[in-house]
Amino acid sequence: MKELAAWALNIANQRGATYADVRVIDDRSRALATKNGRIGNASDSRSQGFNIRVLIDGAWGFASSAELDRSSVEATAARAVDIAKASAKVKQSDVQLAPEKAVTVEWTTPHQIDPFSISIEQNLALLQKVDAELRSVGGVTLAETNMNFRREEQRFFSSEGSDIHQTKYTTGAGYVAYAFAGSEIQKRSYPNSFGGQWQNKGYELIDELKLVENARRIGGEAVALHSAEQCPKGVFDIILESSQLGLQIHESVGHPIELDRVLGMEANFAGTSFLTLEKLRSLKYGSELVNVVADARQEHGPGLGTFAFDDEGVAAQCTPIISNGLFTGYLSSRETASLVGLQRSGGTMRAESWNRLPIIRMTNISILPGEKPLTLEQLIASTDHAILFQTNRSWSIDDKRYNFQFGTEIGWEIKNGKRVRMLKNPSYSGITTEFWNSMDAICSRDQWTLWGTPNCGKGQPMQTMGTGHGASPARFRKVKVGSAYS
């Protein structure tokens, strides 16, 4: 492996590269799913290949191949060089990289049980049990379950001398109950939408999720939504349970802090950002209670954005993003760090696989829990009148990340400190900074969950990436509710 990479780096160097890196990847995944008692999916996939990224004449080139023999490695390196030279025909300035020390490291996602070591029979039996529980509830018209595992082994070599060997494990599982009746389709998901809960850990996650134990409740709620009142329209105090707050962070904090968006590099597809450079350390992003970090380190937890080194060889870090409400940090790469005068990259470059270029991606963008003990039930008890939003159903935000609208699967009206009724089709909307400045309570550490968002799309060609979002339930004052059905 090291020899192959050395050939590629040598060719790049001989042909004028001022910097080059090589990633060699072996990617294995398994997807299992049931649908109304039948197999919905049963598939394994393995993809192996490598890429080389080169910087020549101040411009980037990137080429990849599945063939790992010497002739392919040499041809691919030469192709990357030709591409970089073509890039140099249209540039305004040369790319500069923030400095980074070379390292030799080996790291594996901490895990107790290799998910691929568990028998397929055991996994399918669990999913079928959940499926049966969901369909045992009268009125459930469609039950879907899923379980997913991934093991990605990567060797990273750079012309600066780094040799980083990382193996990452991801596990995910969840289910959905649908109820169609009259002129409505309602659904409930567990433990979250987007295929449930996803973390970088082993099979132990599956046991922690208590999938079977919650299935009848979820099926029952899907059916009960047909008898629930429509969520009212107006301005209300709202409480977001932690998975919905996680997605709120993803869309209205995580994306706008990406420096490539801020600097216009994603303008054609994902969009730009309202967080222009002069706002750093001057914008009051949220209330004093809002503290958000971008933390890829192992000690943050087993998030989908946890690793030891990013895909350009920069160590995992914790960057304060919002500190007591003040906007304090961006997500950066070696190139963008250099452009804005940072001493070092924040270590957020990741690629979907061996055939994709690393780009800035969210790591674990998490809101820190409140310091005083506060459970969700205590928060509800301290609230006069509000709507509680649970489990995302729809999500949308503009291309600068100001105006958002979210819908959830279920809502609850809270009056005088108690949940008084279930609400169907709840939605809320707002402007990012106005919303975060209205947060007046957040639950404590014991209510905090590190959620996984497995389906974040960005880049051209599109890359799907997993991101982590830790959150505890929080309350926001005077938020617009119900526009989706107006």
Partner 1 sequence: MLTLEQAADIFSRIRKYATADEVECLFYGGKSALTRFANNTIHQNVAEENYDVSVRTAFGGRTARATTNKFDEDSLRDVVRASENLARVQEPDPDLLPVPSPEEMSDRNVRPTQSARHFGETAALTPGQRADAVGQIVAIAQKHKLTAAGIFASSDNLEGIFNSRGLSAWHTQTSAEISITMLAPDSSGWQKANFPDVARLDPAHLAQVAAEKAAKSAAPREIAPGKYTVILEPAAVLDTVGFAFYDFGGLAILDQRSFLNNRIGTKLFGENISIWDDVSHSLQSGSPFDGEGVPRQKVQLVANGVVKQLVYSRGSAARMKKSEYASKVGPVETTGHGFPIPNEIGEAPMNIVFEPPKEPKSTEQMIASTERGILVTRLWYIREVDPYEKILTGMTRDGTFMIENGKLVCGLRNFRFNQSLIDMLSNVEAMSTPVRTSAEESFDMVVPAMKVRDFNFTEVTKF
Are 485 and 230 contacting, i.e. CB atoms less than 8 angstroms apart?
yes
In the complex, the smallest distance separating the C-beta of residue 306 from partner 1, rounded to whole angstroms, is 26
Q: Does 7 bind partner 1 (CB under 8 A)?
A: no
Strand blocks (E) in 120-162: 142-158
Q: Which of 183, 227, 343, 416: binder of partner 1 (CB under 8 A)? A: 183
CB of 42: closest distance to partner 1 in angstroms? 4
Residue among 135 and 163 whose Cβ is closer to partner 1? 135
Specify the residue, 44 or 371, whose C-beta has the smaller distance to partner 1: 44
Task: With CB under 8 A as the rule, give the number of residues binding partner 1.
Answer: 87
Please say which residue, 82 or 377, places its beta carbon nearer to partner 1: 82
Cα of 297 vs its chain's centroid, Å: 15
| Antiparallel, parallel or unpaired: β 59-65 and 184-190 | unpaired
Binding mask 321-360 for partner 1 (x = CB under 8 A): ----------------------------------xxx-x-
Nearer to partner 1, 112 or 394 (CB): 394
Distance of CA 10 to the CA centre of its chain: 36
* String of contacts with partner 1 for each residue 81-120, x by CB under 8 A: -xxxxxxxxxxxx-x-----------------------xx
Which parts of 263-322 interact with partner 1 (CB under 8 A)? 263-269, 271, 274
Closest to partner 1 by CB, 76 or 291? 76
> Is 454 a binder of partner 1 (CB under 8 A)?
no
Pair of tokens at residue 228: 């629930």
Tokens of 331: 């997500």
What does the block give as tokens for 282? 């001057």
Q: Report whether 178 contacts 140 (CB < 8 A).
A: yes
The length of the chain, given as a count of residues: 486
| N-to-C CA span, the chain | 59
| The one segment of 193-201, 340-348, 372-380, 422-430 that binds partner 1 by CB under 8 A | 422-430
CB of 93 to partner 1, least distance (A): 8
Among 178, 198, 307, 428, binds partner 1 (CB under 8 A): 178
In whole angstroms, the minimum distance from the beta carbon of 409 to partner 1 comes to 11
Only one residue has tokens 């061996």, namely 354
Neighbours of 419 (CB within 10 A): 12
The footprint of partner 1 on residues 204-263 (CB under 8 A) is 263
Q: Are 306 and 200 in contact (CB under 8 A)?
A: yes
| Distance in Å, CB of 456 to partner 1, minimum | 13
Helix (H) or strand (E) holding 295: strand 292-295
- Least Cα distance to 148 among 90, 97, 199 occurs for 199
- Please report whether residue 142 would count as binding partner 1 according to CB under 8 A: yes
- The residue assigned the tokens 């393995």 is 46
**430-449 residues near partner 1, rule: CB under 8 A:** 431
Q: Does position 374 bind partner 1 by CB under 8 A?
A: no
Give the integer Cα–Cα distance in Å for 351 and 357: 6
Angstrom distances, CA of residue 433 to CA of 137, 242, 313, 327 = 42, 19, 33, 10
- Our finding on whether 455 is near partner 1 (CB under 8 A) is no
Smallest gap from Cβ 402 to partner 1, in A, equals: 5
Contact 251, 471 (CB under 8 A): no
Whose Cβ is closer to partner 1: residue 166's or residue 429's? Answer: 429
Output the six-digit token pair for 29: 């995944």
The window from 38-46, 283-291, 317-325, 370-378 that contacts partner 1 (CB under 8 A) reads 38-46
